[in-house]
C-alpha cells in the first residue's frame, strides 16, 4: 500500500511501526509525553516531523555560528532584531539632509566603546568584517592585499556601518580606507606603519 497517497491520508489511516529504544531515548520519550500531555505515539510523530523539517541542520555537527549566537544572546549584550526594524530606525534618523546629529553623537559613543573592545579582540579589519557579517550587518568578500568588497542591505546601513567600522577599528594596528558606493564599499587595509 502507498502510505503517502492522498486516498490513504484522507482516510486518516495510520501505520504501526515497532521501534527499539535505548534507556536514554525511553526516558526522553516518557519525559516529553508527560511535559506535553500527549501520548507517546503523538510525541514520536511530532519528533519525526521536526526531524524531517530540520534534517539539513541535524545531519551535520552543530555550527560554530549557532554556538556564537548562543554566546551573544546569553550574555544579554545582544538581541535578535528583525532587519526591517534596523531599516526603520535608520530611515527615521537618516534622510535627504543627512543623519540626525544627536543620533550620530550617540552612535559614535557606541563605536568608540567598541574600539577599546575590538583592539583586544581582533587583529585586523578582516576579523571585524567577519564578525559584522556574522551579525548580519553586511556581506564581505576578501580580495588580495587587504582589499575587502563589502555589500550592505541599503544606503543608510552603508553609511551607519561604514562610520561604525571606521571609528571602532581606530585602535587596531592597521589603517583603513573606505571607498563608499550606494550600498557597497571597498575597504582597504594596510599596516599603520605604512601610513604617510
- DSSP letters of 57-122? HHTSPPPHHHHHHHHHHHTTS-----HHHHHHHHHHHEETTEE-HHHHHHHHHHHHHHHHHHHHH-
Mean pLDDT score of the chain:
82
Report which of residues 154 and 125 the model is more confident about: 125
Q: Which of 75-79, 117-121, 156-160 has the lowest mean pLDDT?
A: 75-79
pLDDT digits (tens, 9 = 90+) for 47-66: 887 777 766 655 555 556 66
Three-class SS of 125-185: HHHHHHHHHHCCCCEEEECCCCEEEEECCCHHHHHHHHHHHHHHCCCCCEEEEEEECCCEE
The arithmetic mean of pLDDT across residues 70-97, rounded, is 78
Which CATH topology does 6-58 take?
Arc Repressor Mutant (1.10.1220)
Which three cell numbers mark 17?
511501526
Q: Distances in Å between the alpha carbon of 13 and those of 4, 6, 8, 129?
A: 10, 11, 6, 54
Is the pLDDT reported for residue 104 higher than 60?
A: yes
The pLDDT of residue 118: 93
Highest mean pLDDT among 70-74, 109-113, 135-139: 109-113
Of residues 79 and 87, more confidently modeled: 87
Q: What pTM was estimated for this model as a whole? A: 0.61
pLDDT > 90 in the chain, percent: 35
Residue 69 has pLDDT above 60, yes or no: yes
Confidence class of residue 195 from pLDDT cuts 50, 70 and 90?
A: very low
User: What is the per-residue pLDDT for 163?
Assistant: 95
In percent, the amount of the chain with pLDDT more than 70 equals 83
Amino acid at each position: 500500500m502507498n502510505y503517502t497517497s492522498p486516498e490513504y491520508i484522507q482516510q486518516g489511516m495510520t501505520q504501526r511501526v515497532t521501534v527499539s529504544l535505548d534507556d536514554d531515548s525511553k526516558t526522553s520519550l516518557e519525559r516529553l509525553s508527560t511535559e506535553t500531555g500527549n501520548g507517546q505515539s503523538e510525541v514520536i510523530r511530532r519528533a519525526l516531523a521536526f526531524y524531517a523539517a530540520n534534517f539539513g541542520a541535524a545531519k551535520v555537527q552543530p555550527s560554530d555560528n549557532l554556538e556564537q549566537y548562543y554566546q551573544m544572546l546569553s550574555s544579554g549584550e545582544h538581541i535578535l532584531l528583525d532587519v526591517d526594524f534596523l531599516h526603520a530606525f535608520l530611515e527615521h534618523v537618516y534622510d535627504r539632509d543627512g543623519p540626525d546629529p544627536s543620533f550620530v553623537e550617540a552612535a559614535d559613543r557606541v563605536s568608540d566603546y567598541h574600539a577599546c573592545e575590538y583592539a583586544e579582540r581582533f587583529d585586523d579589519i578582516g576579523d571585524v568584517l567577519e564578525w559584522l557579517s556574522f551579525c548580519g550587518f553586511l556581506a564581505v568578500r576578501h580580495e588580495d592585499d587587504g582589499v575587502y568588497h563589502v555589500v550592505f542591505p541599503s544606503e543608510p546601513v552603508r553609511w551607519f556601518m561604514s562610520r561604525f567600522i571606521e571609528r571602532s577599528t581606530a585602535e587596531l594596528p592597521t589603517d583603513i580606507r573606505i571607498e563608499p558606493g550606494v550600498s557597497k564599499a571597498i575597504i582597504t587595509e594596510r599596516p599603520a606603519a605604512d601610513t604617510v
